[in-house]
Structure 1
Amino acid sequence: MILTNRLFERQAPSREAKSLYIFCEGAKREYQYFEYFREIDSRIKVEVNKLKQDDNNSPKGLYDLAINSFSGDKAKFTIQENDEVWIVLDTDPDKSDSREEQISKIKAECKIKDNWFFVESNPCFEVWLFFHQNKKVEEFESDDICKSWKQKVNENYRGGFDSRRHPIFIEEAINNAERNYKADENERPLKGSSEVYLLAKSMFSVIKNKIRIVKNQLK
């Protein structure tokens, strides 16, 4: 089954269209995934900022990048009333053990900002990718859980998860991720859970008709 963006016809932006600005950590995987949706429909503008090797790749560095993109003389974007800003992060701890504290602070700051949202996958973005084709969460005993999740995703998709094709199953991913979602007392996702379905719902509300039509044509 061919599920590339070539099957979609781009449409001109409407006055009601909102822009989604997505700031994620990944230099490749996350960037390619969200780029899929920007390419298929221009009624929403999805801005994905991927960090370069010389950028501050800490959660705080990513959040500062988002803040600076909308403020000051060198602002890259002008945010409108209905626009949304999404910060996408992983739970996987860093070597300095500073990640938890930074994530908690960013989550709190996004809560008090209008139309700013924080979503997190535990332990990595591959948890979200996993749910595009799986209805039940996996459990791993390995010390390197992120590595286990990446291996599992590669096993579930021939040749690995392909961001040029597999994101079309976003509706299934939303349903599967939400059904399996569990959080702790601080509203942080437990292992095998991903909040990215919240962001996916916002994107899907605009592009769902096009995706469903193409999928029906390919059955």
Structure 2
Amino acid sequence: MALTRRRRRPLDRSQEHLRDTQLVIIAAEGRQTEHDYFAMFRSTRIQVKVLSADDQNRSAPEYVLERLRAFRERYQLGAGDSLWLMLDVDRWGSGKLAAVAREAKSVGFGLAISNPCFEVWLLYHLTADIRDTNRCRDIEQELRRATGHGYNKSKLKPERFEPHLRAALERAEAKDPSPRGRWPDRLGSHVYRVIRSLPEEALPVD
């Protein structure tokens, strides 16, 4: 049944906010990692909400896109609010990614795609020297070594990455093999595009 009335903007009203607080909505493949990571971004002028994979773990790009579309249809959003599609390259063919990316762009969604996976973005917080690979398990292995304490997708501990955010931004941009592309055609991450869209006051203090 079609929705006839949208709900009010889904601000977390338990947090201090302003009338023009910006909402940043991210639909991601994962169930926990991205949600935990973006919890570090907070201010009275910005709220970031991550739409994680559901209980059925439907993480294919078309399901992630549908999750974002459904959210936009359900809620009243303001002109300053933004919606982002956050995907990994490693599990999907270029044909499927291209179709979903094209549809997302056509309806005004931003793209924040990592090659091979989101963990590349996390690794940029700790080093600029990442071995070129198209396998996420290689990146996760490097991430475990770089943290010195292991890496667990379901227990991210974002405080390990928070002090190195600006270094990650600089490294990801400098290493981006496809800065104008829909996604990196080699190892890289466009997650920095989301971070650069946030007001400075929303970024963690070094």
- What TM-score, normalized to structure 2? 0.80
The residue that corresponds to 2:99 in the other structure is 105
Indicate yes or no: 2:120 matched with 1:120.
no
The residue that corresponds to 1:83 in the other structure is 81
The residue that corresponds to 1:170 in the other structure is 165
Distance 1:184 1:118 in 2: 12
The residue that corresponds to 1:31 in the other structure is 35
The residue that corresponds to 2:177 in the other structure is 182
**Residue of 125, 136, 150 corresponding to 2:129:** 136
Give 1 or 2: higher helix fraction. Answer: 1
Between the two proteins, the alignment pairs up a number of residues equal to 188
Note the residue ranges of structure 2 that are not aligned, 5 or more in a row: 1-13
Q: Is the 8 A contact 2:89 2:117 kept in 1?
A: yes
Structure-2 change in CA distance of 1:51 and 1:185 (3 Å): closer
The residue that corresponds to 2:3 in the other structure is none
Superposed CA RMSD in Å reads: 2.4
Amino acid in structure 2 at the alignment position of 1:181? D
**Residue of 52, 55, 58 corresponding to 2:54:** 52
The residue that corresponds to 2:188 in the other structure is 193
The residue that corresponds to 1:145 in the other structure is 135
The residue that corresponds to 1:3 in the other structure is none
Q: Is the 8 A contact 1:41 1:207 kept in 2?
A: yes
- What TM-score, normalized to structure 1? 0.76
Deviation above 4 Å: which 4+ runs of structure 1?
Answer: 184-187
Amino acid in structure 2 at the alignment position of 1:198? R
C-alpha displacement at 1:177, in angstroms?
0.3
- State the SS of the aligned residue for 1:90: coil
Q: Deviations over 1:7-36 (max 9, x none)?
A: xxx972233431100110111222211223
Amino acid in structure 2 at the alignment position of 1:87? L
Q: Is the 8 A contact 1:136 1:180 kept in 2?
A: no
C-alpha displacement at 1:128, in angstroms?
0.4
Q: Is the 8 A contact 1:23 1:48 kept in 2?
A: yes
Amino acid in structure 2 at the alignment position of 1:49? L
**Residue of 156, 159, 169 corresponding to 2:149:** 159
Structure-2 change in CA distance of 1:36 and 1:185 (3 Å): closer
Distance 1:81 1:53 in 2: 31
Q: Deviations over 1:135-185 (max 9, x none)?
A: 233224xxx721110010111012135433023222111111000000299
